[in-house]
Amino acid sequence: MTKVLFISLLAFFVILKAQISTTYEITYKPDSTKSSYNTEYMTLKIKNKTSYFYNETKFKLDSIYNRVTAEYLKTGVLPHVSTKYELNFGFVKDFKNDHYTEIRNIESKNFAFNIKKPVMVWKLLPDRNTILNYPVKKAQTVFGGRIWIAWYAEEIPLNDGPYKFFGLPGLILDLKDSASDYHFKVVTVKKNEEDVKLPKNIIFLTEEKYISLKNKIIDDPAVSVRESVMQSPNVVMKDTKGKIMNPNELFDKINQEFFEFVKQHNNPLEKGDVWIK
């Protein structure tokens, strides 16, 4: 009885204030040729008809990468920093102004660009279930070359969900594609005290310029480092063990690591995309 009362009060609060923060556990298969899965956590913050879906770990690490990159350009010593995230995307939905912004992270830089409103055509299904004590209903859609099954809670009447997903009469608490390659599962639902704000280190550009930049990196993964080396020609480059590297060795190493990553990440959320870091 106490749990039911708590849920009812929370739902009532959400209706009045329309502000909430949810954390999703995301299990995903980066390599379609293997059976192994990764797990990460992403947050969806909603307030005043605006939401922001992002990877908190990524933004905490951004400041570290910016610092070690600056040190590398000064000292020439290649830093060793472990990458603890791979879902390097974010998404902002401004329902009030019908405005949608995609955020992508490349080479530790956050790029943001406006996109057209995603098309979500949902088929409501009769199935019922319970998630975190919320009664949920089932729905299905096709997006990004995948069939998705969603469970949404009408007691949380927010037209939103993880990533680009929205359009149901309740918050999406669980989302999974038919191949079980990606699974978004809500683990916490709580009041959101903060306004929806983007990080300060966002680089805004058009979608066309972002695509051009991404294609440039795919064609030449070492392009950014090569340009930096040209600006600092007197820096002696070393690897993490202190061994001196000539520029071509460094460029070859970057290329090798880049294409190895792409090979091992051939299963992006939206099929047809190229997953780079």
At 228, the pLDDT band (50, 70, 90 cuts) reads confident
**Lowest pLDDT segment from 76-80, 147-151, 209-213, 273-277:** 76-80
**Region 224-238 average pLDDT:** 68
pLDDT of residue 249: 79
Tell me the one-letter amino acid at 51: S
> pTM for the full model?
0.81
pLDDT tens readout for residues 106-154? 887 889 999 999 999 999 999 999 999 999 999 999 999 999 999 999 9
**Region 56-76 average pLDDT:** 55
pLDDT of residue 242: 67
pLDDT tens readout for residues 244-276? 777 777 788 889 999 999 999 999 999 999 999
Render 181-241 in DSSP notation, one character per residue: SEEEEEEEEE---S-----TTEEE--HHHHHHHHHHHHH-TTHHHHHHHHHSTTPPEE-TT
Residue 192 · residue 19 · CB < 8 Å: yes
Tell me the one-letter amino acid at 52: Y
Say how far apart CA 105 and CA 119 lie, in whole Å.
23
Closest CA to 162 of 39, 38, 41: 41
Residue 221 · residue 230 · CB < 8 Å: no
Residue carrying the six token digits 């608490």 = 173
Residue 70 · residue 228 · CB < 8 Å: no
